[in-house]
Structures are given as structure tokens and as C-alpha cells.
Structure 1
Amino acid sequence: MVQNKNILLGVSGGIAAYKACALTSKLTQQGANVKVMMTENATEFVSPLTFQALSRNPVYIDTFDEKDPQKIAHIDVADWADIIIIAPATANIIGKLANGTADDMLSTTLLAAQASVYIAPAMNVNMYAHPAVIRNMKRLEGWGYHFIEPGAGYLACGWIGKGRLEEPESIIEAVRNHQASNSLLTGRKVLISAGPTREKIDPVRFFTNHSSGKMGFALAEAAADFGAEVTLVAGPVKLELSNKQIHRIDVVTAAEMYDVMHKHFPNNDIVIKAAAVADYRPKLVHDEKMKKGQGNWQIEMERTQDILQSLGEKKTLQFLVGFAAETTNPLEYGIGKLAKKNLDAVVINNVSAEGAGFDGDTNIVTYVNKSLHPEEIELASKRVVAERLLKFIERDIKDEAK
């Protein structure tokens, strides 16, 4: 998975930079084309000449050192790379990337890159546990960056704990394993719904819910990265997709989402309804703004069409997955939905649990398929949860085909 790949190795300024020398050597020995980009501080630990000798390529340091007038170096290298590894990744470079700072060649190149980025942190144990560092890593993880966790042990600063750069062999193995999963859903067509719906009362008011769409968007991004052809049906949300290959269809109401989901349902292999669709809508919609009166205002509500159940009734060869956001007896109600709506699997989460509610960047879920064996996914970013759910789904599809 690294042979003949163009790999950009970003080396930032930490004592663990010496391990990047071994990483460069091992990647080169395994047939990768390696280019090294260093921060100015990294050159205080290791000479650029060392990386040049090991990679047999020029080493990039200065944004303004344009060796070829026909190219802009940091854009050219960003476009060249199939894979980017940042090792060691200091708290500083993680913070720059998480906040869009581009004040040196490495940070500028990373903002321009479209390749898969693997970040191998290395820092003092207390720095690694600092809330700002944790926030930055979670943000990057949510954007689709991949972290290779540091090891625990004796650190150069004298502390003992987590923060030691993972060994070069382990970094390569982590990249290799993830690259292998990139083809997990190749050839699959995946339809996903995300976000809330809005049900109009009058020109200025509507009913909705707290869904942000983040879980559905994470599923769409992960499925696309796994090689699937993805259609995302999104309710009214303030989210953008980083993967422009995803076919996004924006809707507002439950009725609109019903129509779009049914239109695309027959042509997809995997269908995941992660949207929180309104169960009820106002029976009467006013054309003019309703004025405030003296007494109470009663609005008669009518049921919307159950999208998931109607898809279950029409299901042929599709693998249909529903979400069950519950606050009371979540497992019981979730499993009940599995049978009632003719699902192949259900993803259950207790939205009242800390870290699993609407609009957060993390989730805690339980995946249950027809075997009724619950599989827990503990607190993690929604991107990580999405990847694990898709791996469960693909496993179950292959098991059914046996």
C-alpha cells in the first residue's frame, strides 16, 4: 500500500525528529517515492542533508525558495502527494492546521493538499492532554485527518506518560492498514440522509429539532473516502462537504426528503437514514404571519410519512440502516425499530448521554444487526464512529452473501 506511492513527510520541530530519519529510510526501502518538508525548527534537530540523502530528493523548507520558475513549489508538492505523513507532529503544527494558519511552507502546503493526511503527534504528556491540543485534534479528526496515537513511556523531557512518537514501523503499518480500507466500499452506491427537517407554520415560524447533521455528513465523507459513490440528502444545516465528489441534495421538509429518498432508493446498495425527520407537521399552514393574540395558540398537527418504514416496505437488495435517537430504554426501542421497519441494522444512541447529544462533535452508539448482538462504539469523534459503522455494514453485507 506504500509501494510506488508519492509520500510527503512533514517534519516539525521536536526531539523526535530523529525518528523521521528512520521513517524516511523505511518508506524508501519499501518502494515509496518520498519527499521531505521540514519546519525551520525541525532543522535545529536534524540536518536537511540527512533527509536528502535518505530520500534521494530535495528537502523543502522555505516557502519562498522557488527552485523552478514554472511551478509554485508548495502547490506543486501538495498536488504531487498521494499520502502525507506528519511525524513528529508538534502541538504547534497541529494547532496551525486546526486553525487554518499558513505561516511556513509545511502549514501552507497542508492547507493546499487533497491527499490523505496522517498525523503522528509527539510532545510532553501534559501538552498532549491540554484542552487546546485535544480540541485541535478532535477538530482535525472531524475533518477527516487520521491520527496515529503516540506511545507511552519515558519522554525526552523526563516525564513518563503518553506522548512518545510511535515507532516508524508502526506508523507505516497504520498507514498501510488505513490505505487498505480506502477501497472498502469501492463499487458500492450509498444513499444517506442527514440533519433535521423544518415544518412551516407561517412565513416566519416553523417546527424543527436539534439535529445538526454532523453524523450524517461524517458518514457521507467516510463512505466517499472508502471508495463509494455517495448521495447525501441533507436537511437545512450549516455544514459543508470537504469531498466534492459527494452528490448533495438539499431539502427542507419531511415531504421533500421522502420524495428524494424514494427517488434514489432503488439505485443504491446501502441506505442509511441518519436524518432526524419531523414526525408531525402543522395541519394548516398560514400564508400570512399569525399575530399574537390574548390567549393561547393551539396548532393541530398531522403525521408525516414515515420515510424509514416506507423504505423498509420497498426494500429488495438494499442494506437498510436506521438511526434510533432515544432517551429512555434506548436499546429496547432501537431493537424494536429494527423488526418493525424491516431494517438490516439499527444504530442506537442515547442522546441524553454526555458526548452523544445533538450538535456535538462526538457520539456514543450501539450497532445492532439482525443477529441482535449489540456492538458498542464508545465515545469518539463522529468521523471515527462513521468509519466503524461502515466497516460493520460492509462486514454484514459480505456475511449475508456467503
Structure 2
Amino acid sequence: MKKAYFSKRIWKKGVNALTVAEMKTLNKLFNRAKRFVFQMLVRQKRWERELHKESIHLVVKRKFGVNDYVANSIVRESQALLKAQTELNKLYIKQADEKIKKIKKKLKSERSFLTTLRKIKASFIKGNLWLPKNRNYALHPSGLVSLELKSCSLIWMNTYLFEHQYLDATIKRLKAKIGRLEHRLFRLEGKKDKLTTRISSVVFGSKKLFKHQFTKKEFVQDHQSWKELFLAARNKQVLISGRKDSASGNFVFTYQPDTNDLHMTSLSGKVVTFSNVVFPYGQEQVDQAVLCQRNCKDKKANGKPISWSVEDHKDYYIIKCLIDVEEEITVNFSTSDGVIGVDCNVNHFAWTDVSKDGNFLESGKLSFSLHKKQPVNQQKSLKQKR
């Protein structure tokens, strides 16, 4: 399986100006090409025909003037995004089915209750009061009418009060509730039909940020500032896929474990450098993956690709290294019964339980104090001194 390791922040003020300029050019061209390829794939799927006689790879190379390695990464990123959208669509349809099933069950229950109340109301009109035995209603010899609930009991002094204070009000409330449920069911069925028949696209830069140009006052008054922010979000990341036949696992990026320098071959053919690329969690794994790939003699058979990603965070870069690692057999990766997430903090553990569909169930916090607590190593050393 793939595992990503994040580097420390690489501040732009400490990076060579040429490196920043080349990275900006690559960022802009890479993401523009990715959006073009993704929209082409979506249109081909919608129209059920090929838009070009050539392969997508060749179309990208000719249109944007990139080399094979960058074009391959662009196409693979776009295809992966479309596949992810397809799988997400299936999940949304499954969730809609479950919601529709629950609403239909609720509607059946509420309609049954409404029918019962209408029968009671009809018995009042006929002058012969009828109360169902399975609803915990009771007419006492004194003329009182009672209703036993789980948490309390309701009492009316006579049948007139029961009819007008409870029966009429409950029938009116149930009608409104059933109407809301029917409307929600109609919306969900429409949503499911839309998800089933329509092939959806993607808003690069996020829908939320796109809507801000119309909803946020500062962006309505200053559209240029929104445009700059939106373009920065659209052109934030570059991911170059690895190649197992490469000497270092990637033909665009080359990492030097001894100096922690990451060399990049830009679109213009220049080699630029990111200095001091250190991974606080996973430095040994990254070094080992790079050295194993270099020392591998038969790379086509036994080589392992190493992918590199550069994220632009305005003032600094975050570099990610994606390598293949062996899957741990003892770890349970199944999410069929849901997932529990745990966050370790200085004074408490926070946990959250979500269902198999990703819906929130419950959360909690386990508090503790580290005051006057000593690490295990210090405790052992104190015992040895004693």
C-alpha cells in the first residue's frame, strides 16, 4: 500500500528565486492541464464517445508542451480523480437508499398512528367513544381519560378536553409531520435519480470557495482578491508519479539522503533544488526507499516507484514523499462496523465513533493530568540509583 510522509515547512524566503519561479510555472501548467483532462474524461463518459483520435497522453503533450513524465502524471491524476468521484457517487447512492428506507418506515408508522387517531375522532362524532388497546389509552369510570407514555402520564378531566386539547392538536401535528416526511422523501428520490443518471463533475478549488465570490461581503466588493485566492487554491499541488525503472524512483524528482536536498527537473529542462527537505516522521523510511531503489540491479522487475508532491501554501512549501510499504497483517483495516478515531493530547484523549457510512455516532473525552509524572526512563534511572 502507499504511504505519504510530510516534510517540514520549506519557507520560500529561504529558497532560490529560480526554484520558486520554476515551481510556480509547473504548478500553473500542471493544474491547468489536469482540469482540461478531467473535463475531457467527463465529457467522453457523458457523450459515450471519444473526443480525440489520439490517446489522452499525446493530446496533453501536444497541447501543453510537457514531457512524457509530467503528461503521464497529469493523466493518472485526472483518471484517479474521476474514479474517486465514481466511487463516491456509489456511496452517496447507498446513503440515499438507507435514508429513503428509514423515511418510508417512519411514514408507515406515522400514517398508521394518524389512522388510529382519525378512528377515535370518528367514534366521538358517532357518540360512542372507541380507544385502541395497543396505544395505552384508558377511559376511567370517573370520566377521566389517560395516556401512559414512557416518561410520564397525561390525564384529561373529560372526553371533551381529550378531544380538543389532545386529539385535534395531535392530528394537525401529524399531518404536518407526514407532509414534511413526504417532501423529504421526494427530495431524496430526486437526488438518487440524479446520482444514478447524471455524471457529475468537480469544482477545482472547492465549491465553498467558489460561492464566496457571491456570499462574502469582502469578495463581492473586491472580486480580484477572491480571484487570486481561488486561483491559488486551484493551483496548489503538483503530484509527479514515480517510475520503477528510474535510478531514484522518479524521473522529475531526485532525493539525496546524505544532504537532504531534493532536485527537480523543471519544464524548461533546468535542475532546481529544494534544500534541507527533512521528514520529521518517516525520514528513515524515505532514505531507505531511495537507497534501495538506487542499489536495485533489475529495476524493471524489482524496482519500486517513488512519487513526490509539492504543495504551495503561499509563504512555504510542504513536500510529500509517497512510497510503497508492506501492509501490516496484524492491523485491522476493515470499516464494515465503523471506525473509532483517537486524538492524543497533553491532558486528555479525545475519541469519536463513526458508522460504516461515515456518519457521526458519538464522541467523548478522557481527561488526565501529567502533573508530577515522570517518564519511564527517568523512573528506571531513579530506581537504579537507589
Normalising by structure 1, report the TM-score.
Answer: 0.20
Structure with the largest fraction of helix: 2
Normalising by structure 2, report the TM-score.
Answer: 0.20
Structure with the largest fraction of strand: 1
Between the two structures, name the one with larger relative contact order (CA 8 Å, sep ≥ 6).
Answer: 2
